[in-house]
Amino acid sequence: MSKFKDVVVTLSKKDPKTGDPAAAGHTFVIGVLGNKKTWYEIESEQLNKLQNDDLQQALFKLLHPQTHH
């Protein structure tokens, strides 16, 4: 079973899909888990306050949504 620690985090100033540059003061946080990939845009200032674990957890929730029974 996958864990959030398995997410590989990469930061980019370019949109992973289009290659367009991020808005001023923004960064794309890209996560890969196995063959799944997702990303979101965040303010660079906010990003500086986060740890790698925080990014992995946020991306894991996007990549591996929990289903409620």
Please say whether the beta carbons of 63 and 36 come within 8 A.
yes
pTM: 0.90
Report pLDDT for 39: 97
How does DSSP assign 24-64, residue by residue?
Answer: TTEEEEEEEETTEEEEEEEEHHHHTT--HHHHHHHHHHHHS
* Dihedral-angle region of residue 12 (phi above 0 means left; psi in -120 to 50 means alpha; beta otherwise): beta
Spatial separation of the C-alpha atoms in residues 64 and 32, rounded to whole Å: 11
Please say whether the beta carbons of 33 and 60 come within 8 A.
yes
Domain residues of the chain, as ranges?
Answer: 1-34+50-69
pLDDT (tens digit, 0 to 9) for every residue of the chain, 69 residues total?
A: 789 999 999 999 999 999 999 999 999 999 999 999 999 999 999 999 999 999 999 999 999 877 655
Report pLDDT for 64: 86
